[in-house]
Structure 1
């Protein structure tokens, strides 16, 4: 009985409070104030969603191409809607400069593909790489390394194992310059003509001498003269090496003029190109101008590993080339 009376008393107090002009006015004020705030947030969120629909780019899966063989994947990017909204909500208005992006990864990666040679990177990536095959041409290496250092460019040097054994100081000079080193067989054999056992021996010996000399493990293999057997990529993969070919050939071993080399490279290079060269006099003479022209065309220059990575070169994020 007492509980019932207490409950009734509390109900009467609540009704009186709600009907009070002070309380009801406060409640109405809250309702009125909250409407534009919620409306404002909704409009901002919708604008960010609209921007995302325009700017989002899907990731590209790695794949085997009929012509170019293995093609690496490439990260997509998308607007992080919630993070962007949180960043803009203090101002309460849409500001495209405050959009926050995040990269999205492909579902299929290079490592998921069967062993196959790589002739180029992803054509959506505005980047190229120099692949320098080294088995001779010692006299031109210092000049090439000096130009690469001056222009802040890293390249990939594929070293013949026997050459590394004879000239360890030059191999270390390449690595000390911040460049990537790869496998170019031990004695410049034709991979299409040797036995599987001989091919494995060539790769293993070169891996060992490069690591012992420079402290670096090779990740990539460039077949001498670009000669591929039917199972070369599989043999290289058994030694944890990817097989690298090229997109653009300087044909510098024929000793053309530096102008000819420059023209070949700058007219044929496109997104994802691997540019093959050797330490020759005309290449050393053309290298700096080559770098300047390629950078002027908007290409980022880097190593084979950087070129084949899924990492995005993202102008929207203001990345410097």
Structure 2
């Protein structure tokens, strides 16, 4: 069932201060600003009633123990001065740990992050262990009252997403996927309508890691382990400044979930397993468990 009510999910709204790591893309269409076509078209959900952008939250619960770890790169359009002053909106050690542990992952990247870290964006975009998807250009909210984030006007929403795809391509991401994550996880019918026609599937989650601004890695890891079910999508971040415990969380969670029989997959595999059907009803996380 496509979520058309406002979904203000806790796992992504770090507010104007948060930043993490991800990337983006759209299927085969070539209009200016749209995602680059990939050699093989990734699976997407069918549009909802009225051609609304479809929303994906988790994969099937009955097709085995699979789980997708996703990481957001939430650098906002106005955080350049902070990066220039030495604040780290990237987390190379986390990416290195994922590679060492051989964990596939989906990275939702803002266009501004790709501009700030083009070499890292290009490396992720060319590594088959990862897939890169769109997290907007600006990381400004697509609804009002979204954890204090600045907002994007309705008539600029599509442009913001297309600008992110352009920034990803310029940074060297060859095939950004047709998946889009709303900044802050905040969306409503107006936002879904504004993005209709781009060809993206909006990707939310059903497990909030709580890694944003967290200082207790054990507590975050336990929250993930308590929440994961077959087909789950977990939202985390790869920003040293805003989510400093995430690498340690991954080092704890990955072996434990593998011991429980889980297999790590990318979001595209979970979407493919739904056979074009949305994965389930909306699940709102508590607003106190913010993320980016």
Question: Taking structure 1 as the reference length, what is the TM-score of the superposition?
Answer: 0.60
- 246, 254, 266: which one aligns with 1:303: 266
1:147 aligns with 2:105: no
1:156 aligns with 2:114: no
- 31, 47, 57: which one aligns with 1:119: 57
2:124 maps to 174
- 138, 142, 166: which one aligns with 1:191: 142
1:288 aligns with 2:251: yes
Greater Rg, structure 1 or structure 2? 1
How many angstroms apart in 1 are the aligned matches of 2:57 and 2:134?
16
How many angstroms apart in 2 are the aligned matches of 1:232 and 1:64?
13
| Mapped contact 2:213–2:244 kept (Cα < 8 A) | no
How many angstroms apart in 1 are the aligned matches of 2:88 and 2:264?
23
User: Structure 1's 299 and 66: CA in aligned 2 closer, same or farther, altered over 3 A?
Assistant: farther
Using CA pairs under 8 Å that are at least 6 residues apart, name the structure with larger relative contact order, 1 or 2: 2
Offset from partner CA, 1:53-83 (integer Å, 9 cap, x none) = xxxxxxxxxx55899x9xxxxxxxxxxxxxx
How many angstroms apart in 1 are the aligned matches of 2:220 and 2:250?
9
Aligned residues: 210
Mark the runs of 5 or more structure 1 residues left unpaired by the alignment: 1-62, 70-108, 313-321
1:243 aligns with 2:208: no
Question: Taking structure 2 as the reference length, what is the TM-score of the superposition?
Answer: 0.65
Offset from partner CA, 1:260-286 (integer Å, 9 cap, x none) = 111000111001111000122211111
Q: CA deviation at 1:195?
A: 2.6
Mark the runs of 5 or more structure 2 residues left unpaired by the alignment: 8-43, 76-86, 145-151, 276-292
How many angstroms apart in 2 are the aligned matches of 1:254 and 1:112?
35
- Quote the RMSD (CA, aligned, Å): 2.5
How many angstroms apart in 1 are the aligned matches of 2:170 and 2:125?
13
1:42-81 pair list within 5 angstroms: 64=2
1:260 maps to 219
Q: Which has the higher helix share?
A: 1
Q: CA deviation at 1:180?
A: 0.7
User: Structure 1's 183 and 150: CA in aligned 2 closer, same or farther, altered over 3 A?
Assistant: same
